Structure 1
Amino acid sequence: MLKHEIIPVTPFEQNCTLFWCSDTKKAAVVDPGGDIEKIKAGITKHGLTLEKILITHAHIDHAGATDDLANHYDVLIEGPHKEDQFWIDGIEDQKQRFGGAFSYAKKFTPNRFLDQGDTVSFGNIVMEVYFCPGHTPGHVVFFHRESKLAQVGDVLFSGSIGRTDFPRGDHATLINSIRKNLFLLGDDVRFIPGHGPMSTFGQERRSNPHVSDAAVGMR
């Protein structure tokens, strides 16, 4: 069975997520943006063995501590999509832009880039990968079909959507990613966003002012 704990990290309160397999106690961390001691404490608290790090996209608040965490546990890094390489290359520039708050951040090297149709696994858990560009060009989402649970990074939020005013962001592409990729997974799917509270795809289809059925002209 899939278990999870949301660990808010960085001054942006980014939802780093600790996932684990209850049968094997093998775990994966999604988007370790910072506060590495908090993440390590969560792993220890649940008696877990970290198996890999998963990255939705390479903005600094989601990926800044990836290199440090991977080196500490000697684990693989999987994700994001290869189109986010330019954001990985730009982590030093991102760090300078935000000052001392992200002084720890480092560039990292994924062991595996991810794409639509791929899967990632830890313990007995298999999660599906969906390519959902728009917020960044290489954003991916992780979905556990049996639990009807997704980790969507900064693609979709409760009542909002990801920003598209960053370099290589695209609003129309983001809407398409949400409507044609995520919403098709089912209204009853719960999702963990990159920031803020959880919601369901059904709730966002009904009421999200940016991407609901009504917002895109569907009744």
Structure 2
Amino acid sequence: MKIYLHMNFSTLTNSYLVVNEETKKALIIDPCQISKDIITQIEDGGYNLEAALVTHKHKSHISGLKTLKKIYDISTYAADTEVSSDLNLIQGDGVIKVAGLKIEYFSVPGHSSDSIVYKIGNTIFTGDVIFAGRVGSSSCNYTKTRLCNGIRTKLFSLGDEITIMPGHGPLTSVGAEKHFNIDLKALSAD
């Protein structure tokens, strides 16, 4: 598996092109903006783009989905039907196979009701659930507590070596977040 990071500088949102190197099949996680660089990478790499996986329905994470669907015949996976009219709805926790890759998914609500984290190999794509040093914003203390509990029970149990690829900002790891995440430490102190 190979992962390419593409950042939309106007919203500082990360998109990830994930490639199965054996089959040349690919998927994109959070198609925030479809740039010439993404299209060139897909085409020059000879990749067959099969799907878009959406971590949550906020506009900054899905604004490029319509453009992508005009260019490629792809499936879309998300936990909210408002993302796309032709959606593969996923809810709760489970496993799907896309682009020849086993993808585990976990519902971790709190930032939004439809927040989904995807795990491929030793990497999790968290959208706005968790960032380097912080957790996603929440509307109240209840949803923030729910988010932090979901992170601790579902994501921290995956192992310290798991790489976190967030919707914004730099990469981090489960181990680093266990020890240094300000929001999780503050909530523990309450």
Q: Same fold (TM over 0.5)?
A: yes
| CA distance in 2: counterparts of 1:123 and 1:32, whole angstroms | 16
**Structure 2 length as normaliser, TM-score?**
0.91
Alignment of 1:56-205 (within 5 A): 56-79=55-78, 81-82=79-80, 85=81, 88=82, 108-144=84-120, 147-165=121-139, 170-205=143-178
Cα RMSD (Å): 2.1
One-letter amino acid of the counterpart of residue 133, structure 2? G
SS at match of 1:57: coil
Q: Which runs of 4+ in 1 moved over 3 A?
A: none
1:158 deviates by 0.5
Q: Which runs of 5+ in 1 are unaligned?
A: 89-106
Which shifted more, 68-77 or 50-59? 68-77
1:72 deviates by 1.4
The structure with the largest strand share of the pair is: 2
| CA distance in 2: counterparts of 1:58 and 1:8, whole angstroms | 18
1:70 deviates by 1.8
SS at match of 1:18: strand
Q: Is the 8 A contact 2:27 2:99 kept in 1?
A: no
SS at match of 1:196: coil
Question: Which residue number in structure 2 is paired with residue 31 of structure 1?
Answer: 30
Q: Is the 8 A contact 1:78 1:110 kept in 2?
A: no
1:217 deviates by 4.4
Q: Is the 8 A contact 1:57 1:153 kept in 2?
A: yes
SS at match of 1:40: helix
| CA distance in 1: counterparts of 2:176 and 2:4, whole angstroms | 22
**Structure 1 length as normaliser, TM-score?**
0.79
1:43 deviates by 1.1
* Residues matched between the structures, number: 189
Q: Is the 8 A contact 1:135 1:164 kept in 2?
A: yes
